[in-house]
Structure 1
Amino acid sequence: MTTWTDRAGDSSRIVFGCLQFLRFGWLEVLSSLFPGLVFAGLAISKYVDLPIARYDALLIYCLVLTLLFWAVRLETWREVAVIFGFHLVGLGLELFKVHIGSWQYPGDAVTKFAGVPLFAGFMYAAVGSYICQAWRRFDLRVSNYRPVPTTVFAVGIYANFFTHHWIPDLRIPIAIGLLVVLRRTWVFFTVGVRRYRMPLALSFALIGFFLWIAENFGTFLDAWNYPDQVSVWQIVHPAKFGAWSLLVSMSFVLVASVKSLEGRLYHRGGHATVEISPQHDGANQPAE
């Protein structure tokens, strides 16, 4: 027979769960500050007349945002460096994909090279910024992470975006290989006073899904277009969700390399604890 105490306990657990969900959502919003501001710039530049070309203005805007995040200590110089590295990785992919006609950037700009505006790399850098911010705010750690094979598969995923135009598309076998490597890898994170964990591969899929949603907003704002969106906008093909999920692995590997140097990569032990981790008290402060 259910007692009043049991019902009160169930109610308190439901309330606590709802509060945890709200805390989690708020931390996600804070972690997405840079990507959110980038998309705010896309929206404003779409509907406001600017004295210079849109892509030139967006490049200046993103550079200022990066310097501002570093100046106010939202990101360390190491994190800025790895974010810049992902900017270059993304820009290389953009130059190739635009060249072969996978998508296009409408409009002219002084800072447009081979059909690609230099600001485009910041769309990829925003992913790196999100991971850096989430690492700090959620006090992220990983267990059973194998950096060498994970890096090999991440590089293979990146290379396949180029090579599948000439040789068979290997993304499925590469993805399976990555899943095998990550099968025992967990990411631990803190929300409030509780410590949780999830499979690292699942986190890649979740991030990839939201990146696919973001890509729909980006194309709707006419920042770039796929061939089937030139005459009239339509939803980006769901297959891009999988592509983004795979590409997140490259961003994670770059950020993890920095966190390894900072001593903030590995979780000790195999289970999530219910106590707040010692590092979390200073989790919102970047390391020197």
Structure 2
Amino acid sequence: MELQTQTQTRRPGEWVERIVGRLLAANESRSPLGRALHIFVAFGIKQAWVCLFGGLMVALLIGTHLWYPPGAALPRYDALTIAAVLIQILLIAFRLEEWDEVAVILLFHVAGTGMELFKTAVGSWIYPEAAYLRIGGVPLFSGFMYASVGSYITRACRGFELRFSNHPPLAVTILLSLAIYANFFLHHYLFDFRYLIMACVVIAFRRCTVHFLIDRTYHRMPLLLSFVLIATFIWLAENVGTFSHAWLYPAQMQAWAMVSIGKLGSWFMLTIMSYVMVTLVNRPQAL
């Protein structure tokens, strides 16, 4: 473990590790509840760090909704796109992001924009504001919202030094990912296979456990549970996005309402697809 710790201190974000290390110092002397609480807080700090790109994007949605001047020469959506690009440049310049994360973000941007073009064309949701930087009815900042999910998963693999046990074969996960992506399009014309695909996901990942490192100690969680938790946070972020009028569903056009809890199923499948896309760049490592 000493070698791993030395490696961490040379990586970007070493100050996060220092904060976590100080928080957990002498944790053995605390009560079991105190140790668990400190580990939970340390876990939250590291989660906030690996959510950096996504967190900044959500902050931009809220900030521009509250304070961006209406009628500005530069439309709000374009300001979001430019801000996302500048954030990306700064993260690379300050070595807060690695080039493999950039590759994942680009991959997600392409896949996400393709899905956005289709979904807006069939009326699943709309972008109600004007933009110059757009493809059809899709402003370019939308691709960064998908990319933030890929950035999170990639950063989590590095930040928590994730290891896996009983991971399904890559060929199986790729087929599931392709089926999920295809169903996002085909269910508008054919039968919706999402529940069948979800059942296949459960079967494939039922025995898989993810192990994450906090202060030289590995903890574990069923990977399926982690997918559910990620999907839940994406659903919460989507509610922020629609509340800020970054995009709207047809039912929200007259007055805002929370996104249906049923969308959790879609975000669960998107999480699976996102995870599989990340594994194409960073292969899952066994414990």
TM superposition score category, shorter chain reference: 0.7 to 0.9
Distance 1:257 1:75 in 2: 18
Structure 2 CA distance for aligned equivalents of residues 70 and 175 of structure 1: 36
Answer whether contact 1:205 1:242 (CA < 8 A) is retained: no
Q: Which of residues 21, 24, 30 is equivalent to 2:43?
A: 24
Amino acid at match of 1:124: Y
Contact 1:209-1:241 at 8 Å conserved across structures: yes
Q: Which residue of 2 aligns with 1:5?
A: none
Letter in 1 for 2:204: V
Query: Which stretch shifts more, 14-23 or 44-53?
Result: 44-53
Deviation at 1:225, TM superposition (A): 0.2
Corresponding residue SS for 1:189: strand
Identity among equivalent pairs (%) = 44
Check whether the contact 1:208–1:245 (CA below 8 A) recurs between aligned residues.
yes
Are residues 75 and 10 of structure 1, via their aligned partners in 2, closer, same or farther at CA, if it must alter by over 3 Å?
closer
The answer to whether the Cα contact below 8 Å between 2:104 and 2:151 also exists between their aligned partners in 1 is no
**Gap regions ≥5 residues in structure 2:** 1-27
> Which amino acid in structure 1 is aligned with residue 235 of structure 2?
W
Secondary structure (helix, strand or coil) at the match of 2:164 reads strand
1:84 aligns with 2:103: no
AA in 2 matched with 1:68: L
RMSD: 1.5
**Is 1:158 the counterpart of 2:178 in the alignment?**
no
Deviation at 1:51, TM superposition (A): 4.1
Q: Is the aligned partner of 1:95 residue 2:135?
A: no
- Secondary structure of the residue that 1:93 maps to in structure 2? helix
TM-score for the superposition, normalised by structure 2? 0.86
Which stretch of the first structure deviates more once superposed, 199-208 or 218-227?
199-208
Q: What's the CA shift string for 1:113-141, capped at 9, x where partnerless?
A: 21110110000000011111211211112
Q: Helix, strand or coil: the match of 1:190?
A: strand
Q: Is 2:145 the counterpart of 1:126?
A: no
Normalised by the size of structure 1, how large is the TM-score? 0.86
Comparing 91-100 with 77-86, greater Cα deviation is found at 77-86
Is the 1:212–1:240 Cα contact (8 Å) retained in structure 2?
Answer: yes
- Cα displacement (A) at 1:202: 1.4
Secondary structure (helix, strand or coil) at the match of 2:91 reads helix
Partner AA of 2:35 in structure 1? F
Work out the CA distance in 2 between the residues paired with 1:15 and 1:193: 18
- Aligned-partner SS, 2:59: helix
5+ unaligned residues in a row in structure 1: which ranges? 1-8, 269-288
Q: Which amino acid aligns with 1:63?
A: V
Contact 1:157 1:247 in 2 (8 A): yes
Encode CA deviations 1:143-190: one digit per residue, 9 max, x unaligned: 222211011011101110100011110000011011111112111101
**Number of positions where the alignment pairs a residue of Structure 1 with one of Structure 2:** 256
